Amino acid sequence: MKKICKIKIFAIWAMFLGCCSCQHETMSRISGDNLVIPMQTREKTNAAYLLIVTLGHDGKNCPGCILSNGKWIHVDCQGHGRACLTSAAVVLNQTGTIVTATTTDTFGLTSEDFFLMPDRSLDYEDDKGNHLFLNIPSQMVYRDTATQQFTFTGLSFSNAAAYSNN
């Protein structure tokens, strides 16, 4: 519950910063979850975004969905479901058709060395006003030992949601 409150406060803070950075058109669209919000940065080449995502499920009915040290365990606010609202600041990189997202907030998603990302389609409006979805396939990502960041791979953009976000 504490994490959800912190995430909501962070999202409100991000909305305030966005409004002050002349991004009010994008920020006024925020009314739900599973969103991509462009972030203002000083570097014009930096593609910085805030991803707001619902995920996770009740551990009472989960015998374990994450394999850790050879044993199946449940970790709150990871994997399928919609129990938690969380966010992550990321930089999107595209090389040809390959799109990745690397976190820039080291412990925004979790303090664990792994993160079980469920498949999600995040609502996004590009700088030309086109309504798109950023699709992130389900994947287990591990924290880079040098940078301490997570990198999500296999991302794609589409006109329609690729996933149901359940």
| Three state DSSP letters for the chain | CHHHHHHHHHHHHHHHHHHHCCCHHHHCCCCCCCEEEECCCCCCCCCEEEEEEEECCCHHHCCCCEEECCEEECCCCCCCCCCEEEEEEEEEEEECCEEEEEECCCCCCCCCCEEEECCEEEEEECCCCCEEEEEECCEEEECCCCCCCCEEEEEEEECCCCCCCC
Half-sphere exposure of 24 (CA within 13 A, CB side): 3
**Any residues with CB less than 8 A from the CB of 126 and at least 6 apart, and which?**
132
Q: What value does the mean pLDDT of the chain take?
A: 82
What is the per-residue pLDDT for 156? 95
CB burial class (10 A; 0-12, 13-18, 19+) of residue 161? middle
Is pLDDT larger for residue 40 or for residue 157? Answer: 157
pLDDT of residue 59: 85
Range 63-87 average pLDDT:
90
Of 5-9, 15-19, 127-131, where does the model show the most confidence? Answer: 127-131
pLDDT at residue 8, as a whole number: 45
Do 58 and 64 meet the contact criterion of CB atoms below 8 Å apart? no
Domain boundaries, the chain: 2-158
Read off the pLDDT of residues 147-157 as tens digits, 9 standing for 90 and up: 999 999 999 99
pLDDT of 32 reads 61
Answer yes or no: pTM beyond 0.85. Answer: no
pLDDT at 107: 86
pLDDT exceeds cutoff 60 at 18: no
Query: Which residues fall within 8 angstroms of residue 9, CB to CB, at 6 or more apart?
Result: none
